[in-house]
């Protein structure tokens, strides 16, 4: 009887260990066989990766930092200042802090910068990012060299930290006839990074059984130099080549009003796609958000009926005074309550995934990465916005991680801003 009892105990213990191993294997934190088969259940952000400094080796100067008179007191295109305390490489600027010490910043061109960003993604629970690839940039050697270098660093870091990664083409500045530029470029990336091979590149995001690629800037009525027919050429070719498609569309895509072209062909294109993501940045603040919560619910219903997945966007706030002038409006972050309201309401409406705008966008003040709580001395043209008093520089990364838990039902769904312990 003792032998039978010992054997039974051993059998139960083995089952518990085995079950525990199976349960843990679903976590991408420690799973050597991880892969991203679907966007469902994920929270991802847009990643600009477009910042340069004169000494970073890219020969692009203070790219995306400089204002009309360079990057110096009185001239800047960024509103937020990065917290660079954890960066391996930083660059001295002409700005100083109130105590007289020099202010330093980062370059996206450095591999160590990208590695730091992906490490934060893992530490805070952000599932991954969409790497922005601007068609207007990759048409010239300088732009293509820069974004290739950033993408190389990101692909490496994504696998190191087991984060999801996906290519997003931004059509801003594209002209009719540039479709081949995008298609040829993506073909190069597919071969260079084994995008179709999940064994070689498990971090690349798939959806509906195929690797996903994003085309952003579809259906906007702001007099773009390309049309829906040009986009259809790219969508059809990419689908024929075995890819899932996500389209970045205007806010009012469903009703074909306001910021959207009055062309039913947009709905035809959307029905050809796998996911759509409407652009909400700047459309509302916390006080005016309620009608958009209703809009999202109606969008989701339309997408369910038409068998297209719907991806709501959330952003922490907005500020571009240095970029556009002191008289421009800002959207306050409200210590995170604005961002949390959007994320929680979207999940409440039935969202399966979230898109956060953006990871590193300090130009328009939508960055969720670590931003400075103490900023350099400002004058008109270079007045910087600090993270709110009493909050840590990582506050918005932490909030996004908490939203991911809520999406995966690891914490209760609540529209009340969580308090950090």
Helix residue ranges, H only, 193-336: 228-240, 265-272, 290-305, 321-324
Q: CA distances (Å), 151 to each of 49, 156, 334, in order?
A: 9, 8, 33
What pLDDT is stored for residue 51 in this prediction? 98
Q: Backbone phi, then psi, for 227, in 5-degree steps? A: -130, 180
Domain extents in the chain? 35-407
Residue 7 has pLDDT above 50, yes or no: no
Q: At 379, is the secondary structure helix, strand, or coil?
A: strand
Residue 23 has pLDDT above 70, yes or no: no
Residue-wise pLDDT tens digits, 130-187: 999 999 999 999 999 999 999 999 999 999 999 999 999 999 999 999 999 999 999 9
pTM of the prediction?
0.92
Q: How confident is the model at residue 31 (pLDDT cuts 50, 70, 90)?
A: confident
Q: CA distances (Å), 31 to each of 20, 156, 202, 210, in order?
A: 13, 17, 11, 21
Lowest-confidence pick of 26-30, 65-69, 314-318: 26-30
The share of the chain scoring above pLDDT 70, in percent, equals 93
Mean predicted lDDT score pLDDT of the chain: 93
Average pLDDT over residues 228-251: 98
Please give the distance of CA 95 from its chain centroid, rounded to a whole number. 28
Q: How many CA atoms lie within 13 A of 198 on its CB side?
A: 15
What pLDDT is stored for residue 25 in this prediction? 29
Residue-wise pLDDT tens digits, 334-375: 999 999 999 999 999 999 999 999 999 999 999 999 999 999
What pLDDT is stored for residue 14 in this prediction? 37
Closest C-alpha among 28, 50, 42, 27 to residue 275? 42
Q: How confident is the model at residue 28 (pLDDT cuts 50, 70, 90)?
A: low
Average pLDDT over residues 309-328: 97
* CATH homologous superfamily for the domain 35-407: Glycosidases (3.20.20.80)
For residues 204 and 165, the answer to whether their CB atoms sit within 8 Å is: yes
For residues 97 and 377, the answer to whether their CB atoms sit within 8 Å is: yes
- As a whole number of angstroms, the distance between CA 393 and CA 139 comes to 36
What pLDDT is stored for residue 36 in this prediction? 98
- Asked if the peptide bond before residue 72 counts as cis, ω within 30 degrees of 0, the response is no
Residue 9 has pLDDT above 50, yes or no: no
Residue-wise pLDDT tens digits, 243-292: 999 999 999 999 999 999 999 999 999 999 999 999 999 999 999 999 99
What pLDDT is stored for residue 29 in this prediction? 53
Alpha-carbon dihedral 51, 54, 59, 65, rounded to 10 degrees = 30
**Cβ-Cβ contacts under 8 Å for 102 (sequence gap 6 or more):** 92, 93, 95, 96
What pLDDT is stored for residue 19 in this prediction? 36
- As a whole number of angstroms, the distance between CA 413 and CA 95 comes to 43
What pLDDT is stored for residue 30 in this prediction? 60
Q: How confident is the model at residue 238 (pLDDT cuts 50, 70, 90)?
A: very high
Q: At 185, is the secondary structure helix, strand, or coil?
A: helix
Residue 16 has pLDDT above 60, yes or no: no
Alpha-carbon dihedral 145, 146, 152, 158, rounded to 10 degrees = -160
Within a 10 A sphere around the Cβ of 300, how many other Cβ atoms? 18
């Amino acid at each position: 009887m003792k032998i039978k009892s010992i054997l039974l105990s051993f059998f139960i213990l083995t089952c518990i260990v085995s079950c525990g191993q199976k349960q843990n294997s679903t976590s991408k934190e420690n799973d050597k066989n991880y892969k991203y088969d679907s966007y469902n259940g994920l929270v991802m952000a847009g990643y600009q990766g477009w910042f340069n400094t004169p000494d970073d080796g890219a020969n692009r100067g203070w790219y995306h930092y400089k204002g009309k008179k360079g990057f110096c007191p009185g001239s800047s295109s960024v509103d937020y200042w990065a917290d660079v305390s954890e960066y391996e490489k930083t660059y001295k600027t002409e700005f100083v802090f109130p105590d007289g010490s020099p202010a330093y910043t980062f370059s996206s061109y450095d591999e160590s910068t990208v590695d730091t960003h992906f490490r934060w993604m893992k530490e805070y629970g952000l599932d991954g990012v969409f790497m922005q690839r601007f068609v207007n940039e990759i048409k010239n050697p300088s732009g293509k060299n820069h974004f290739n270098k950033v993408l190389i660093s990101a692909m490496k870091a994504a696998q190191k930290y087991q984060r999801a990664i996906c290519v997003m083409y931004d059509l801003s500045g594209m002209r009719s006839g540039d479709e081949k530029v995008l298609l040829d470029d993506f073909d190069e990336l597919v071969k260079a990074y084994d995008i179709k091979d999940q064994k070689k590149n498990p971090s690349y995001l798939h959806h509906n059984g195929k690797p996903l690629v994003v085309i952003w800037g579809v259906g906007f009525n702001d007099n773009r130099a390309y049309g829906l027919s040009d986009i259809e050429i790219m969508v059809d070719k990419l689908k024929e080549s075995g890819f899932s498609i996500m389209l970045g569309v205007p806010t009012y895509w469903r009703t074909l009003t306001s910021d959207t072209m009055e062309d039913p062909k947009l709905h035809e294109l959307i029905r050809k796609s796998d996911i759509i993501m409407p652009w909400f940045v700047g459309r509302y603040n916390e006080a005016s958000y309620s009608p958009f919560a209703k809009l999202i619910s109606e969008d989701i219903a339309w997408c369910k009926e038409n068998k297209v997945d719907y991806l709501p966007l959330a952003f922490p706030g907005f500020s571009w005074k240095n970029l556009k002038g002191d008289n421009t409006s800002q959207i306050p972050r409200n210590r995170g309550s604005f961002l949390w309201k959007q994320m929680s309401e979207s999940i409440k409406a039935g969202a399966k995934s979230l898109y956060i705008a953006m990871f590193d966008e300090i130009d328009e003040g939508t960055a969720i990465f670590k931003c400075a709580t103490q900023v350099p001395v400002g004058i008109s043209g270079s007045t910087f916005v600090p993270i709110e008093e009493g909050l840590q520089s990582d506050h918005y990364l932490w909030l996004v991680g908490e939203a991911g838990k809520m999406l995966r039902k690891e914490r209760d769904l609540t529209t009340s801003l969580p308090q950090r312990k």
